[in-house]
Amino acid sequence: MLTFLSTCEIRKTGILQLNKGIPYLTKQDFLEVLPEEGACFEIIHNGKSLAFGYSGRSQKNDVCVIDKPLSGEFLKKKLQQALEKRKKIFPKFPEAYRLIHSEADGVPGIHIEIFNDYAVITNFNHGIEHYQNDLIAALRISLPHLNGMYAKDRTPTPKKPETTVIYGEPAPENLIINENGGRFIVRLNSGLMTGLFLDQRANRAWLKTMCKGKSICNTFSYTASLSIACAMGGARETTSVDISKTYNDWAKENFVLNSLDLKKNHIITNDTFDHFQFCQRKNIRYDMIILDPPTFAKKKTGTFSVNKNYEELIKESIPLLNPHGVLVCSTNYTQWSGQDFLSMLNGMFKSLRKHYTIVHKAHADKDFPILVNYPESNHLKFIAIQIR
């Protein structure tokens, strides 16, 4: 742990950021050279203390802003506060939840997720890694039942393996998470993704109530957790489409784990756009199509980016909907606010001269708090629409 607390004089640009409540600054926001990665310092202007920060370079920023000096005590307090917050919002505590949602829980630079008896700490800069032992100690105090802890490295220049066990024992290869009557296989020992996106928990619950008797196409389906929710809710059939055979094998295991019939729950390894063309050719239609693409992806031909190609995705899915069909549009593209996403939909439907009604509009579940004034913390947009 680095203990030396120096000061750094901030420029007006940085003060503007701080006044807006944005907890990230760049080196250009300071008049002085920043302390070494991981060092915590006082942010000052004309001798007056404005906040604290630590040097933590990510893709866009160099400093994470915090309200007190970064130390073991600080982390212990933030963990306790985050845990208390979640105890209040969940009448029944989920088996898997996000405990620290970065800046929205006062610790910019990390996410911490709990999966039963295991914690997964995702680092977004190397600075916060200097406090790993403090974090382990704080987690052991807040959650004494933990058997193991992982660090996952999402830093701009990875120095370590993607996944490292930093405390206790590794989790079983297949860790089972129970959620709202469904069972999901989570794998913590490799890769940055665990198999279950916790931010979609409430949206899975909503889908479960919406699907009775319906045919569903879940595109970019990953381990098919959204399809499982639909199937558990009584969908007549589901089709999960993902380009990755590895994730589709995992999805199949999830269906089997939930005793769901694979004859009614199809898993297709294909590019979503190619699947849509196949459906056009074969006259296949669905009552609901779920679109939840990654921000950037490879297609069989070229690349896909949410920013450039989401409209195209919607346009290609509309003809595949049965009358009164529902289109579920979801994205975690952080550069779009909820309003930007709606504006994109409005503009697109206007140009198509079509009208739609919003059936459901949601964001991430409650354990993903939102920092007002920092739209990036409201990463997930989930809108279900019916085209008239």
Ligand X SMILES: C[S@@+](CC[C@H](N)C(=O)[O-])C[C@H]1O[C@@H](n2cnc3c(N)ncnc32)[C@H](O)[C@@H]1O
Residues of this chain that interact with ligand X (CB under 6 A) are 197, 200, 220, 222-223, 225-226, 241-244, 247, 271-272, 292, 294, 297, 299, 304
Instruction: Give whichever of 163 and 223 is closer to ligand X, judged by the CB atom.
Output: 223
Question: Which residues on adjacent β-strands are paired with residue 53?
Answer: 41, 65
Strands 286-291 and 215-219: what pairing?
A: parallel
Instruction: Give whichever of 129 and 292 is closer to ligand X, judged by the CB atom.
Output: 292
Q: Name the minimum Å distance from CB 90 to ligand X.
A: 20
Q: Name the minimum Å distance from CB 125 to ligand X.
A: 22
Strands laid side by side in the 321-331 sheet:
265-269, 237-242, 215-219, 286-291, 321-331, 381-387, 356-362
CA gap 55, 64 in Å, rounded? 7
Cα four-point dihedral sign 76, 79, 82, 87 = negative
Q: Name the minimum Å distance from CB 334 to ligand X.
A: 13
The number of residues in the chain equals: 388
- H-run or E-run covering 38: none
Q: Name the minimum Å distance from CB 286 to ligand X.
A: 16
Q: Name the minimum Å distance from CB 386 to ligand X.
A: 20
Closest CA to 363 of 377, 346, 349: 377
Whole-number Cα distances in Å, 96 to 20, 207, 265: 33, 19, 25
Instruction: Give whichever of 250 and 349 is closer to ligand X, judged by the CB atom.
Output: 250
CB count within 10 Å of CB 165 equals 15
CA gap 214, 238 in Å, rounded? 8
Instruction: Give whichever of 158 and 191 is closer to ligand X, judged by the CB atom.
Output: 191
Instruction: Give whichever of 62 and 365 is closer to ligand X, judged by the CB atom.
Output: 365
Q: Name the minimum Å distance from CB 328 to ligand X.
A: 10
CA 377 to chain centre: 10
CA 11 to chain centre: 33
Q: Name the minimum Å distance from CB 346 to ligand X.
A: 24
Q: Name the minimum Å distance from CB 306 to ligand X.
A: 10
- Contact in structure between 72 and 134 (CB atoms under 8 Å): yes
CA gap 127, 150 in Å, rounded? 17
- Contact in structure between 41 and 8 (CB atoms under 8 Å): yes
Instruction: Give whichever of 75 and 241 is closer to ligand X, judged by the CB atom.
Output: 241
- H-run or E-run covering 338: helix 338-351
Instruction: Give whichever of 61 and 200 is closer to ligand X, judged by the CB atom.
Output: 200
Residue recorded with tokens 């693409």: 293
Instruction: Give whichever of 191 and 347 is closer to ligand X, judged by the CB atom.
Output: 191
Instruction: Give whichever of 74 and 336 is closer to ligand X, judged by the CB atom.
Output: 336
Q: Name the minimum Å distance from CB 226 to ligand X.
A: 5
